[in-house]
Amino acid sequence: MTTLLRSVNIGMGLLGVLVLSACSSGPKSIVPASAIQQVDPDEVEEIAALLDRGEVRSAEKRLRKGLDRDPMNPSLQVLLQGIEGDARTDLGPKNFSYTVRSGETMTELAERFLGNRLKSYQLAKYNGIDVPDALEVGRELLIPGQSPNAASTPRSTPKAEKAAPARPKTEVAKPAKPAAAPGPRKTVDHAAVRRARSAGLVALNQGNVKQAVSLLRRAAALDPDNKAIAADLRRAEQIAATVRARQ
């Protein structure tokens, strides 16, 4: 009887091993593409704003979390390349000199000359600048690529081209109309503009959307021609509208 029970126990043990082996060798589950969580464009803008303020560590932390959810996001890849890549290698050695004018920001210059506002931190690294938002008027920058002025230089008139016929002596040239005198330009307090914009972006990053809209509207009122501030304000107002709709 004891021998029979021992044989039964051995048989049950072998059966359990076979069952576990079959389960472990089954097909592994594959994560479907639909499980990827796309990163919201507003989150991309907030990460870019952190980089523009020189908060690289915080920006990189949020950037990598976003890439974990959406590894092929092109905007996040651009920001990551700006952090990890060599700006001189990525943007090329050929460049031209440019003097920063009143109201211009690194984000606006990156949009104008590089075709992507998210490359503002990369453009700053190209010029040895740690904080893109600290860009000063009159600063000499090196812009990668060919100067747009070089392409628009007028060609010399060919020698074979006939000269324009002279006017008849009887024709009397009409006096040119005097140009209208330009109106007085409003003086922009750039320090106050930078403070209001920076505070607004910080508030937006902390989730204080209402305060962010108020501060960015103040910055826009102080410098109404600043396209970068106008873009920041539109983004903040869109976020505020989304928050109101969800309430």
Question: Contact 43/69 with Cβ under 8 angstroms?
Answer: no
* pLDDT attached to residue 216: 81
What digits encode the pLDDT tens for the residues 119-149?
999 999 999 999 999 999 999 999 999 888 7
The list of the chain residues with pLDDT below 50 reads 1-5, 7-11, 13-31, 153, 156-158, 160-161
Residue 182's pLDDT is 56
pLDDT attached to residue 27 = 43
Listed by start position, the domains of the chain span: 191-247
